[in-house]
Amino acid sequence: MNEAVTNFAINFIAFTGALMLLLVVGGLITAVVIYQVDKHQTKQAIRRNYPLVGRFRYLFEHIGEFFRQYFFAMDREEMPFNRAQRSWVYRAAKNIDNMIAFGSTRDLRVPGTYLFLNCPFPTLKEDASATQPMRIGQFCRQPYDAPSFFNISGMSYGALSKSAVLALANGAAKSGCWMNTGEGGLSPYHLEGKCDIVYQIGTAKYGVRNAQGLLDDNKLREKAALPQVKMFEIKLSQGAKPGKGGILPAEKVNEEIAAIRGIPVGEASLSPNRHPDIACADDLLDMVARVREVTGKPCGFKLVIGDANWLDEFCEKVKARGIEAAPDFITLDSSDGGTGAAPMPLMDSVGLPLRESLPILVNKLVEHDLRDRIRVIASGKLINPTDVAGAICMGADFVVSARGYMFALGCIQALQCNKNTCPTGITTHDPDLQRGLVPEDKAERVANYHDHLVHEVEMIAHSCGVAEPRRLRRQHAAIVVEGSRSVPLNILYPEY
């Protein structure tokens, strides 16, 4: 017996030694091959001058963003969202107590910081009122009484995984908010959750287009016949890429995507940078009227404001046609990016941020007596109660968020959205990565996030002495400006 054990040990050691020798020799051969390849390639100077070793530069560059996020960045640093912002969403989504102690870690001297102006006699719990549904489309055959002021912004199936869409749709149904389809059209997974749906009509008119890419009234009627579809939104532009259309690579156009979007299988689909049939304010009003007449449901449009001078002309055109001709809502997106992948110049440098464009839009609507007719929906980096309450103070009737709900799904801001390598299964179609996202579990988190945010915005409103969030006005908040002093919003952005 002892001899057998001894022989086994000797053989095992010999085998292990041979295997290690093989791995070392193999590693050396691989290193020599890589060295020669790097030395003679002409594309990258670092690798050519420092073969093999130079590859570490690219490795460190790739993993650097992850190390910065978890080891080096402070809680209030990082872009586009810092750790404190994300942590609030994670805790809300998991239904964990969000209380903190020992004072705020937020630097209240930074320009752009919101400060809400609490009153000496805040609203008592018994005097508070629940936020009531708000009607959109008062002149429509089927107006929409939207239950919540905080809803899910446009994210397309295709950009999002099946699991992510299912989780969002089911979570929206649980919390009573709407979900925007994004420009990719209406998928079965949107409908499966039985939530309220806003159907977005992008420049390629996916799902409601004919073979020539023009709007098809019959397909519009088909979508409008679905009870879950409550409104239609014409997308003129979005924060990630104002002035540019989307590109759907041919390899992503499988049979399912092709059927949903109404495009040929296996062919790349390029969205125009604007609707070819909308070239002026009159064309836009014609399109709104057409969609509303065909569907019988509210119709509005989404845009990023850059040049605001056209708003006067637009409002005058509405008044000339009659107040019924006005869009039922305007979704105003911020210029500082979004979930869509886009060229850096457009993401960084085109359009106005929401804090500047929202008071401009609201003031124009007030000036032309259209404020009560047109609902204003604010979008753009509004993921925490502070920013949502700030937008409502500025004049928004509703707020929509995409990235906030992505964090509720478990997004870790890995910045892999456009690479099909999302580690949390949200923006990938890799089945192995998608399995990490369980729709049933994440739907609960989506609902929790919504409910906590609404509750804490109501809490801010009560501290300012109003019964519910939509009674917040610009005088209820201030913004820190240069010099670390704060200026009330109604002074910084005077109301018309």
pLDDT, tens only, 333-388: 987 766 666 666 666 667 788 999 999 999 999 999 999 999 999 998 898 999 99
**How many helices (H) does the chain have, and how many strands (E)?**
17, 15
Tokens of 338: 């979004």
Start-to-end CA distance of the chain, whole Å, equals 97
* Residues whose CB is less than 8 angstroms from the CB of residue 207 and which lie 6 or more positions away in sequence, other chains included: 184, 185, 186, 199, 219, 223, 260, 261, 262
Of 90-99, 182-191, 461-470, least confident by mean pLDDT is 90-99
Q: What is the DSSP letter of 153?
A: P
In Å, how far are 43, 146, 164, 186, 472 from 260, measured between CA atoms?
A: 41, 26, 17, 7, 41
pLDDT of the residue at 131: 84
Return d(Cα 203, Cα 106) in angstroms, integer. Answer: 41
Q: Binning pLDDT at 50, 70 and 90, where does residue 420 land?
A: low
Q: Which helix (H) or strand (E) holds 146?
A: strand 144-146
Is the pLDDT reported for residue 398 higher than 60? yes
Amino acid identity of residue 301, one-letter, is F
In Å, how far are 43, 46, 77, 153, 468 from 35, measured between CA atoms?
A: 15, 12, 39, 49, 67
Pick left, alpha or beta for residue 112 (phi over 0 → left; psi -120 to 50 → alpha; otherwise beta): left
Total number of residues shown for the chain: 496
Q: For the chain, which residues make up each domain, given as ranges? A: 2-72, 134-454
Return the biggest CA–CA distance within the chain.
104
pLDDT of the residue at 476: 96
Average pLDDT of every residue of the chain? 85
pLDDT of the residue at 348: 65
Q: Which helix (H) or strand (E) holds 400?
A: strand 398-401
Q: What is the DSSP letter of 154?
A: P
Is the pLDDT reported for residue 484 higher than 50? yes
**Range 135-144 average pLDDT:** 97
DSSP assignment string, 315-383: HHHHHHH-GGGS-SEEEEEPSS--SS---HHHHHHSS--HHHHHHHHHHHHHHTT-TTTSEEEEESS--
Amino acid identity of residue 108, one-letter, is L
Query: Minimal CA–CA distance to 153: which of 354, 419, 288, 315?
Result: 354
Other beta carbons less than 10 A from residue 420's beta carbon: 14
Reported as a single tens digit per residue, the pLDDT across 280-314 is: 999 999 999 999 999 999 999 999 998 888 999 99
Task: Decide: residue 130, CB within 10 A, 0-12 exposed, 13-18 middle, 19+ buried.
Answer: exposed
Amino acid identity of residue 107, one-letter, is D
Is the pLDDT reported for residue 77 higher than 60? no
- For the domain with range 134-454, which CATH number is right: 3.20.20.70, 3.90.1150.10, 2.40.30.20, 3.65.10.10? 3.20.20.70
Reported as a single tens digit per residue, the pLDDT across 236-278 is: 987 666 666 777 777 677 888 888 888 888 887 778 888 999 9
Strand-strand pairing, 196-201 and 178-180 = parallel
Is the pLDDT reported for residue 428 higher than 90? no
| Cβ atoms 80, 381 nearer than 8 A | yes
Return d(Cα 122, Cα 128) in angstroms, integer. Answer: 10
- Looking from the CA of 374 toward its CB, the CA atoms found within 13 Å total 32
Q: Which helix (H) or strand (E) holds 196?
A: strand 196-201
In Å, how far are 137, 348, 494 from 140, measured between CA atoms?
A: 5, 38, 33
**Range 143-160 average pLDDT:** 92
**Range 9-29 average pLDDT:** 80
Query: Minimal CA–CA distance to 111: which of 380, 484, 487?
Result: 484
Reported as a single tens digit per residue, the pLDDT across 310-341 is: 999 999 999 999 999 999 999 999 877 666 66
pLDDT of the residue at 76: 47
Amino acid identity of residue 483, one-letter, is G
Return d(Cα 208, Cα 287) in angstroms, integer. Answer: 13
In Å, how far are 48, 112, 470, 471, 483 from 175, measured between CA atoms?
A: 57, 31, 19, 22, 42
Task: Decide: residue 217, CB within 10 A, 0-12 exposed, 13-18 middle, 19+ buried.
Answer: middle
| Cβ atoms 191, 172 nearer than 8 A | no
| Cβ atoms 399, 376 nearer than 8 A | no
